[in-house]
Structure 1
């Protein structure tokens, strides 16, 4: 999708081993280009979202397990006012220049087989929320993998 908006108010399920691609450009300052107000489950394969002058907002629940969610772009913000769960085998990656990650919601990264989060090159990190890191995380380091419990 180039231009326009995608709003999820129900449940969106990404499963299977394939890759789902999204391209979003030129955000309306009043709205995000992608808004999750419901439940977004990324439970298999990869979901790649590329943003140019655009935004991604989560006010619902975002679950990533045994899958990868990658957000890249330029001047592309990720705003979380809901819940982000990075479960076993899940990977959340944000790498966007001149961008920001803003959160007033909750983040949980599980230990299990190891959840993984990475904030690559955001210009701004603004946290007003809880970052629940289970078993061995250092919240000052933004590229971390939760170790497996032996």
Structure 2
């Protein structure tokens, strides 16, 4: 199983978990950052998880720095296992995990982690992915550990 497949498996394993702002555990609850961190852990990444953000922070630069610090590299087009940075509304950022037929994300409106099939309904700011062991991406960062 590839690292990307393990990321998707971990994200899907969290479907049904309650939504909780700053949540980091599927049993007690996850927000989109917690879900991304949980899924990336499934792929072998043990990165520091951002703290102290608001539901509507809008700081895309900070989010991009976290992706790089986690050892992720930018992708041109989303593929399963990628972490998407989305803009669902003014001043609002959202993370989601790409699956083979949609995304898994922590849905604040539904109050739980859900899998949403089809096209992503929000503007895409960027996508990041784990490197598979042995892949070379120049100076894009470490392989994320694990």
Q: Is TM > 0.5 for Structure 1 vs Structure 2?
A: no
- Higher Cα radius of gyration: 1
Higher share in strand: 1
TM-score normalized by the length of structure 1: 0.24
Higher share in helix: 2
TM-score normalized by the length of structure 2: 0.25
